[in-house]
């Protein structure tokens, strides 16, 4: 794994660029991402390009032996472009234009903006595509940040109608698939279809999920346009996008399919404050982040990148954008870097080199203080660079599968968010609960899309596979390991229609049962079944199979047919951990129970152990018992 | 009481209609409501009517001996009509158009929509008005659902100005009545009056209450237009509208005056989650609903329908629209049906026959599963049908009054909501608190509008009679029983102006006191007076009458003059129950204290006892002591 | 100190004006404010002036020897003016027009409205400017009430662009000062600058703070226009504006600079309900208001008025606009008046004379009931008038400084609100926490703007001096007393840019340290350092100075260099009180620890002691030990 940094030469006097480059190299950094927010400097006036400054900046980095990841600047179209073409702006759900003044102020469906996106990327790629320092490109920046996937603009409406007409042979077919007869929502033609906002009450979920899929597809095609230009003018370079954490507003897999590397932006403390699940969690992990937060995303984006993934932005101190912005525990910058290494990252790049003294991110820590002196994280980066060097060639670890594949489906997730049927039904949260349960058992996990090969896994878990997929059913029939099917699996088609055979649809060929009812419950009303406590969601199952246990009111709990398990309720964390541990043991996967902050991760022949706290933990290592304080880790060669 | 069901033949293959009808009959259903959401099938294109399918559906039901309640389809104008006339849409308080895509997307003030409403009703009534199976009509569906009474559209503004000009002889008279001199709000002419939204801060309450009354009147006139057509083309049929629970956004009495029957849609579990009063209540009654929820509405709508009322939609399992959607306790479907019977319903109709596999109500339970097989409630309906049959002719019980009349005034309620003077002043909640107190004393209640005859009652209670009514004062002077006047009674005229003599205005001829001040208090600061605990609202009374008790700070509490009582504060539930019990005993009304879930109801010569839980209760019945588990009930003949 | 009252003759029959005036005089009132909401009666139609009724009203008051404070009516432009010029209305942050129907419906940037404002003020001043009864004018009413300082209208946009162009020599200079290169926010010309709303995410804080300063300047120039006319046509009269409590949405000092007197509107119970800090506080002080609420504002507005200040609206009972509106404890009306006296007010004027029976303030108490009879506060006013008279000439107390000057900066406050870096960072709350700590030590405080002379003070505290001011630094270098510098002092320039030398910027010449990082923390995670508990905000300081204590994680706490102290964290109330007490003792300022509701205030040679409760307190007075019940006060001559 290499270390990198995000750098904005346009923010600093040119006289300081050389010493910046020299210090980067000294601290152990080898890759620098730059350029993604500087359109107004590339083209301060229409067609008036200024590339020389960036040439000079890249040359200076190159002279220090640093490699460059160049960002296309389309997240920030300049004001003159917005003034020329106000209709490139997106429209929010309330129908208001989302204007200039921050970033991501464009609508993915704007044809005019797409022309300008292609133009500026082409110009930039022609300038820098074959520069020897440029080893990779980042397309745009954080697609969807600030809820920008969806736009309800006139352009989006036009494109959505077109998309609908491509999905269906006729408007009658759409009416039928969407069940528009319900409440007389039938259309006479495709041009009668509106974007799904500003209705009196809940819109047809089929309509809303279709719009979600359309919006997601717009991101993929926008990205593909840039990819196509970059492939042509900058051959041989890695193409990458920087995805975000806890973000499911578009389907990442089709976007990733045209790229080489999945990047993601890791802010463990910032993300913690988005955990509305558990107020105590925000206190316990205040200065470390939740022990499963970054790892989950590492494992997810490793799957998105088909093995190739980078942490392209790594928090190096307090950030500026969370409700509360604490400083990390001393040592966490090293810890997070090593954690990325342990999960197989090729690169860990810190955001940012130097704290900016002003603007929106004035309070966002950098490796340097605003005045250019080293900040608290600087020394930690130096140390972790040395440690990684001492470990040798860990960058190219073998891509052996983990014991467990957790299937994650963005469309399935969106389907549940479209029609949750209970305010506390959180499909992302449930997926992460399953992940946490596995990791507390000391087990490594691959998070995979539906459709990926399952050979080599001992267990497959369906977390949010809401949409019936006969192909997956067939794949699972052929799979020899344990299959754990979570609640609401295969409970609808992509048009939000329950299967004719009821849920779990085609999975009934794996396990003979059907869901005849369900209920959502307030958190304060758990339901017990034997040693387990269900909450929030519970399904009433009809089956000839005897349930493994009964709820207090006689509903069955947990159905098993051979190695196939149907879990017909959400379980509370403790129960879920016990339930998963039983399944792992039955599958003869080694379970190593972990304290709340302890995590085991094996990568190639290296075994890593991390302790996020809150207490010190004593572990058994080949060199004997070893104490890990909060924020500490260790590793050893597996024999 | 008959049993009914809501049925949507347009959702299912025509081949299944016959078996549906046969199974309805078999299960004990005799009435079927249909047709209210199918405009896009009646008229898929402008003027292109398709009635044959509905003829066939009705004929099939008729052939099985089922009677039909036909709904006019105006809650769901089709897309082509919206596209032709976008100005039929309503405008929300923020000034945004409330668009197509769900239901109730029309403005009551749209003249064009009224033309189309009359046209489609006339066409439909001409087709089916004299069909022998059609025994009743439902106008539209749930007026006001999704906050659709009020619209701030240009059409509403036009109509409101006209309405104002009809209320007053001159703009000067309006300015004076509304006290527009306050803050220089005076108008020069009626066309200067805007709809009351988008002002800088609180608008004149006179303006807002006038707009409420106008909006309410628009509903009545819209409904009356349909009634007039239906009377002409479908003579002799019962006309009904299906009102909602906990809904006070328009005055139901004037709407009901032109109809024959009051329908209402009963969802005890769904409504529970709207109770923000008491988080514990949402847990205690999770699977039964609050024991007074359906009964209050039964007693209210019996008054609205002047004795003739139907439960036209009865929850048969989990619904889809509440924050949490639990399954009912086993037996509750029977329980709810018997409860409706005990309160005098002529019909209890379940919503819906078969669960729809898709669209907005995909998760709403039906008597059948989406695949057409019987769901959990199916058997309960069968059982309750048999039980009702065994009771004989309970459908036509004598309309004897209950001992207590609780006066409920929609305008008075709206006046308090317009100017609550305390965030926790909830006039609906206070009315229901009075109802609960009475019912926990084992007493039957008639909820009545102001103006209904009071002969035969032993006690009259003014719950939200905010607007001074000299006619009611005169009626009460002639009334021989106990009069209990609640706080804020007669505290203003209809223009939100305090009486010259201060509150309680003309009621001062019944009891000689006046309110010289009032205060609203946070829930956490109760005020004690003798054995009672007041909260939220307390009035400072000036009177020669000695108060029955004193608050700790010397303000008086509870004034009595003969059989007339003035209660000058809101009381907490326990205190209110004791206060009411004292008044009942003084009035020689039998008090039977009830545990939290136990309720007595007498109808004709049948005494019913219901136990909603949460514990089993032992009661004395003519056949000896009897245990009622949660969700159980019993009944016996009164000798 | 004189007593006054707010009176609306236009609300009452002219026949009652004389008896009103007579009763005012009898009760001890000498000044009457009137006229500020009556534009629609001054000019019911364009150019059609009706001044006679106001002449008659003023003459009647004059005949009783009452003095008049006349309000300009610009807070309420009449409907015909709005209909003629709809673009005088303001636009809210969502882009919606803020319409007619309440008050303050104008945009400060509307040139047309400014013409009409000047016109009506000129007409009024010409009519009444030299009337012998008219001794003062109030400009407009409560600038900013209902969040009306800021408007996002087209007029505001035009004016903001102009203002920006006046602040900077070139657009390049603005781009540079605002650091617009960040996220490519650079402008090509001033006409490209938008008002800062409706962006995708957080706008540049430099942009937002500039817009705040612009909006504040618009208030000052609007006010100055009226002042200029009033000076010309009503020479020798005091000019005053009535500011509000807890209101920092514009810089009050520049507005006050052109006026003679600072007025403020004191509603201690209403304000209590705006305290979201502490739910218990809303209960403890329910009927008295928080003991530091009115005093803080008295001390603040004494500074704003450079010694001359009036309570122009004093709550005399329950109000109508808070979430809960309790009645005050008996005696509080006297208490509040005496408190104003003790803090140096020239006038305490009650709002309002007679409770209005209708409109928005129907439930707002007056000295008279709606029916014209005396209300509960009437007698208290009479008593306090007598008590004040008995104290002799307290109106012209010497303006000796308090021991402590607390510097309060509206721009600095706005800077922190623009970029709080933690949801619980409340700069107003922190300033008031400092004030409370001082007052609980029994110390008098002057709240002063930056720039006021500091001679005579023993201690200066920087509460929210966020913006680096080399002038203040120089002043403090020359200051001989104790300087206590709070967190975030001098942490930026006015364009939200961190000083090159880091915070605290130029203050580093007083104390040699710099802030190299900071963190915001949830309330639930306090941080201990020796005897103190910090929370919410903590700074990491780099300095050769040894900190006075260490936090548990090694960060330093509290730096001291001679008499200069840097407090690098927010402290919880108890800790802050101890911290302040130590500093006061070191500075040899007498500390008198006070129970929660006890407060000492010295004014001239009179020592006052107030007890807001909740319990009785025994104090030492020259005449021996004395008990003060809640709501009681006493005073004595200091020898």
Instruction: Nearest by CB to C358, from B179, B192, B202: name it.
Output: B179
Q: Are C610 and C594 in contact (CB under 8 A)?
A: no
Per-residue pLDDT at C459: 98
Per-residue pLDDT at A160: 98
Per-residue pLDDT at C394: 58
- CATH 3.20.20.80 in chain A is located at 1-148+215-259
> B38 to chain A: nearest residue by CA?
A184
Q: pLDDT tens digits, residue range A71-90?
A: 999 999 999 999 999 999 99
User: CA of C263, closest CA in chain A: separation in Å?
Assistant: 37
A283 phi-psi bin (left φ>0, alpha ψ -120 to 50, beta other): alpha
Q: pLDDT tens digits, residue range A555-611?
A: 999 999 999 999 999 999 999 999 999 999 999 999 999 999 999 999 988 999 999
Q: What is the spatial distance between Cα C295 and Cα B557, in angstroms, rounded to a whole number? A: 35
Chain A residues with beta carbon closer than 8 angstroms to that of B379: none
Residues 7-26 of chain A whose Cβ lies under 8 A from any Cβ of chain C: 10-11
Chain C residues with beta carbon closer than 8 angstroms to that of B424: 324
**Could you identify the residue written with the tokens 């001044």?**
C51
Q: What is the spatial distance between Cα A354 and Cα A367, in angstroms, rounded to a whole number? A: 6
Q: Mean pLDDT over residues A140-145, rounded?
A: 98
- The mean of the pLDDT values for chain A is 97
Burial of A277 (0-12, 13-18, 19+ CB in 10 A): middle
Active-site residue identified among A313, A346, A380, A548: A313
Q: Which of C187, C519, C552, C570 is the best residue to mutate to test the A interface, defined by the most A CB atoms within 10 Å of its own CB? A: C519
Give the pair of three-digit tokens for residue C138. Answer: 């109030």
Looking at the complex, does the CB of residue C277 fall below 8 Å from at least one CB of chain B? Answer: no
**Helices first, then strands: H and E counts in chain C:** 18, 27
Residues 178-197 of chain A whose Cβ lies under 8 A from any Cβ of chain B: 178-188, 192, 194, 196-197
Angle formed by the axes of helices A376-391 and A17-27, to 10°?
Answer: 50
Per-residue pLDDT at C280: 87
Looking at the complex, does the CB of residue B280 fall below 8 Å from at least one CB of chain A? Answer: no
As a whole number of Å, the end-to-end CA separation of chain B is 22
CB contact under 8 A, B359 and A192: no
Domain A598-637 has CATH 2.60.40: yes
Residues 398-427 of chain A whose Cβ lies under 8 A from any Cβ of chain B: 419, 421-424
- CATH 3.40.50.880 in chain C is located at 404-586
- CATH 3.20.20.80 in chain C is located at 2-77+130-145+233-391
Q: Which residues of B599-631 are buried (b: 16+ CB within 10 A; e: fewer)?
A: bbbbbbebbbbbbbbeeebebeeeeeeeebebb
Looking at the complex, does the CB of residue B41 fall below 8 Å from at least one CB of chain A? Answer: yes
Per-residue pLDDT at B277: 66
Looking at the complex, does the CB of residue A40 fall below 8 Å from at least one CB of chain C? Answer: yes
Per-residue pLDDT at C572: 97
Looking at the complex, does the CB of residue B162 fall below 8 Å from at least one CB of chain C? Answer: no
Question: Does B275 score more than 80 pLDDT?
Answer: no
Residues 494-513 of chain B whose Cβ lies under 8 A from any Cβ of chain C: 495-498, 500-502
Instruction: Nearest by CB to C200, from A40, A45, A98: name it.
Output: A98
Instruction: Nearest by CB to A192, from B38, B73, B79: name it.
Output: B79
Q: What is the spatial distance between Cα C416 and Cα C277, in angstroms, rounded to a whole number? A: 18
- The mean of the pLDDT values for chain B is 97
Could you tell me which residues are beta bridge partners of residue C587? none
- CATH 2.60.40 in chain B is located at 598-637
Per-residue pLDDT at C526: 98
Q: pLDDT tens digits, residue range A303-353?
A: 999 999 999 999 999 999 999 999 999 999 999 999 999 999 999 999 999
Per-residue pLDDT at A357: 98
Quick one: which of A576, A570, A215 has its CA closest to A418? A215
**CATH class, range C2-77+130-145+233-391:** alpha beta
**CATH class, range A1-148+215-259:** alpha beta
Instruction: Name the neighbours of C, counting chains with at least 3 Cβ pairs within 8 A.
Output: A, B
CB contact under 8 A, C37 and B183: yes
Q: Are A300 and A408 in contact (CB under 8 A)?
A: yes
Per-residue pLDDT at C490: 98
Question: Does B400 score more than 80 pLDDT?
Answer: no
Provide the number of CB pairs (under 8 Å) joining chain B to chain C: 172
Looking at the complex, does the CB of residue C552 fall below 8 Å from at least one CB of chain A? Answer: no
Q: What is the spatial distance between Cα B539 and Cα B604, in angstroms, rounded to a whole number? A: 41
Q: Which of C74, C358, C375 is the best residue to mutate to test the B interface, defined by the most B CB atoms within 10 Å of its own CB? A: C358
Which sequence positions of B are flagged as catalytic?
Answer: 142, 313
Residue B393's pLDDT band (boundaries 50, 70, 90)?
low
Residue B392's pLDDT band (boundaries 50, 70, 90)?
confident
Q: What is the spatial distance between Cα A46 and Cα A85, in angstroms, rounded to a whole number? A: 12
Chain C residues with beta carbon closer than 8 angstroms to that of A77: 184
Burial of C588 (0-12, 13-18, 19+ CB in 10 A): exposed
Chain A residues with beta carbon closer than 8 angstroms to that of B38: 181, 184
Residue B398's pLDDT band (boundaries 50, 70, 90)?
low
Tell me A289's DSSP state. Answer: -
What are phi and psi for residue A246, nearest 5 degrees?
50, 40
Q: Mean pLDDT over residues B580-589, rounded?
A: 98
Looking at the complex, does the CB of residue B83 fall below 8 Å from at least one CB of chain A? Answer: yes
User: CA of A244, closest CA in chain C: separation in Å?
Assistant: 16
Looking at the complex, does the CB of residue A361 fall below 8 Å from at least one CB of chain C? Answer: yes
Looking at the complex, does the CB of residue B549 fall below 8 Å from at least one CB of chain C? Answer: no
DSSP-based three-state secondary structure for A457: coil
Question: Does A278 score more than 80 pLDDT?
Answer: no
Which residues lie closer than 8 Å to B630 by C-beta, 6 or more apart? B288, B329, B597, B611, B612, B613, B614, B615, B616
A313 is catalytic: yes
Q: What is the spatial distance between Cα B350 and Cα B359, in angstroms, rounded to a whole number? A: 19
Instruction: Name the neighbours of B, counting chains with at least 3 Cβ pairs within 8 A.
Output: A, C
**Helices first, then strands: H and E counts in chain A:** 18, 27
- The answer to whether the pTM exceeds 0.80 is yes
Chain C residues with beta carbon closer than 8 angstroms to that of B197: 99
Strand (E) or helix (H) holding B241: strand B238-243
Give pLDDT < 50 ranges for chain C: none
Q: Are A405 and A589 in contact (CB under 8 A)?
A: no
Residues 291-350 of chain C whose Cβ lies under 8 A from any Cβ of chain B: 317-318, 320-321, 323-327, 330
Q: Are C384 and C338 in contact (CB under 8 A)?
A: yes
**Could you identify the residue written with the tokens 């810890």?**
A335
Domain B404-586 has CATH 3.30.420.10: no
């Amino acid at each position: 794994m290499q270390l990198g940094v995000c750098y904005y030469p346009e923010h600093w006097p040119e006289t300081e660029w050389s010493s910046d480059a020299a210090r980067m190299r000294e601290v152990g950094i080898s890759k620098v991402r730059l350029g993604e927010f500087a359109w107004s400097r590339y083209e301060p006036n229409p067609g008036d390009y200024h590339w020389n400054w960036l040439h000079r900046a890249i040359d200076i980095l190159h002279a220090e032996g640093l490699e460059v990841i160049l960002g296309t600047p389309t997240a920030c179209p300049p004001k003159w472009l917005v003034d020329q073409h106000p209709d490139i702006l997106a429209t929010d759900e309330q129908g208001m234009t989302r204007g200039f003044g921050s970033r991501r102020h464009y609508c993915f469906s704007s044809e005019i903006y797409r022309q300008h996106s292609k133009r500026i990327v082409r110009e930039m790629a022609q300038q820098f595509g074959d520069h020897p320092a440029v080893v990779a490109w980042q397309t745009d920046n954080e697609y969807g940040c600030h809820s920008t996937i969806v736009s309800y603009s006139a352009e989006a409406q036009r494109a959505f109608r077109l998309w609908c007409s491509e999905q269906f042979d006729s408007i009658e077919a759409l009416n039928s698939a969407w069940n528009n007869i319900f409440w007389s929502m039938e259309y006479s033609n495709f041009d009668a279809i509106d974007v799904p906002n500003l209705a009196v009450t809940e819109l047809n979920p089929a309509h809303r999920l279709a719009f979600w899929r359309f919006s997601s597809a717009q991101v993929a095609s926008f990205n593909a346009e840039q990819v196509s230009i970059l492939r042509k003018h900058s051959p041989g370079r890695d193409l990458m996008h920087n995805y975000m954490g806890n973000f499911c507003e578009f389907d990442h897999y089709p976007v990733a399919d045209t790229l080489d590397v999945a990047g993601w932006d890791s802010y463990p403390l910032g993300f913690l404050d988005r955990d509305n699940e558990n107020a105590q969690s925000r206190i316990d992990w205040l200065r470390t982040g939740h022990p499963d937060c970054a790892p989950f995303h590492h494992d997810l984006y490793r799957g998105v990148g088909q093995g190739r993934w980078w942490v392209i932005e790594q928090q190096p101190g307090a950030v500026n954008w969370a409700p509360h912005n604490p400083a990390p525990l001393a040592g966490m910058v090293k810890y997070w870097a090593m954690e990325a290494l342990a999960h197989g990252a090729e690169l860990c790049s810190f955001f940012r080199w130097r704290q900016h003294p002003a603007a929106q991110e004035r309070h966002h820590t950098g490796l340097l203080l605003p005045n250019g002196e080293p900040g608290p994280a600087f020394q930690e980066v130096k140390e972790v660079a040395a440690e990684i060097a001492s470990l040798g060639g860990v960058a190219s670890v073998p891509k052996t599968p983990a014991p467990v594949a957790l299937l994650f489906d963005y469309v399935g997730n969106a389907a549940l968010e479209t029609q949750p049927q209970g305010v506390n039904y959180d499909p992302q949260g449930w997926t992460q609960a399953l992940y946490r349960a596995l990791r507390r058992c000391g087990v490594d996990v691959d998070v995979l899309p539906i459709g990926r090969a399952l050979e080599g896994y001992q267990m497959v878990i369906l977390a949010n596979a809401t949409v019936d997929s006969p192909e997956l059913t067939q794949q699972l029939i052929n799979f020899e390991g344990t299959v754990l099917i979570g609640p609401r699996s295969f409970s609808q088609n992509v048009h939000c229609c329950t299967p004719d055979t009821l849920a779990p649809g085609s999975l009934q060929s794996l396990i003979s049962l059907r869901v005849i009812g369900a209920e959502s419950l307030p958190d304060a009303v758990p339901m017990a079944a034997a040693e387990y406590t269900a909450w929030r969601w519970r399904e009433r199952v009809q089956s000839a199979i005897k349930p493994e246990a009964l709820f207090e009111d006689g509903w069955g709990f947990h159905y098993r047919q051979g190695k196939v398990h149907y879990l017909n309720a959400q379980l509370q964390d403790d129960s879920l951990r016990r339930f998963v541990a039983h399944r792992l043991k039955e599958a003869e996967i080694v379970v190593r129970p972990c304290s709340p902050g302890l995590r085991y991760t094996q990568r190639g022949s290296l075994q890593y152990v991390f302790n996020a706290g809150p207490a010190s933990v004593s572990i058994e290592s080949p060199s004997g018992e070893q104490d890990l304080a909060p924020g500490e880790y260790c590793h050893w060669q597996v024999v």
